[in-house]
């Protein structure tokens, strides 16, 4: 999945907490979040007073959670794993799980998004 398709897919499914999101969709959306956040911060430093960054963060909160939950589904885990970093020691396994390859075939959360997407 390419960058534009990943962003489009994430926003199309911004309240969809079912199904699966492949690695490229998740990581391209993370890149999009970083670039958008940087742009909002730069504009705020030029006189926005912080409002643009706040609006950006609010606008991407639900899609960020949704794509992360669907990424966990892609590796066969429930979306509740999203809370793993709150255990402090869970940050490393959390990042590792977001980086590993998704299930090749159909799993309990649906078909492989790269094949049937």
Model confidence, pTM: 0.91
Please answer whether residues 111 and 20 qualify as being in contact, where contact means their C-beta atoms are separated by less than 8 angstroms: yes
The chain-wide mean pLDDT, for the chain, equals 93
d(CA 7, CA 11): 6
107: left (phi over 0), alpha (psi -120 to 50) or beta: beta
**Count, residues in the chain:** 117
pLDDT digits over 16-70, tens only?
999 999 999 999 999 999 999 999 999 999 987 889 999 999 999 999 999 999 9
Please answer whether residues 76 and 109 qualify as being in contact, where contact means their C-beta atoms are separated by less than 8 angstroms: yes
- pLDDT band of 88, cuts 50, 70, 90: confident
Provide the pLDDT for residue 101: 94
pLDDT digits over 8-18, tens only?
999 999 999 99
d(CA 88, CA 69): 19
């Amino acid at each position: 999945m390419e960058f534009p398709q990943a962003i489009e897919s994430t926003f199309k499914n911004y309240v969809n907490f079912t199904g699966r999101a492949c690695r490229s969709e998740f990581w391209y959306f993370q890149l999009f979040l970083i670039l958008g956040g940087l742009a909002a911060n730069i504009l705020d430093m030029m006189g926005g007073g912080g409002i643009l960054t706040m609006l950006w963060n609010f606008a991407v909160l639900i899609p960020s959670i949704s794509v992360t939950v669907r990424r966990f589904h892609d590796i066969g885990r429930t979306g509740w794993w999203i809370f793993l970093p709150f255990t402090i020691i869970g940050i490393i396994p959390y990042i590792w799980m977001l980086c590993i390859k998704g299930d090749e075939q159909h799993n309990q959360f649906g078909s492989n998004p790269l094949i049937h997407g």
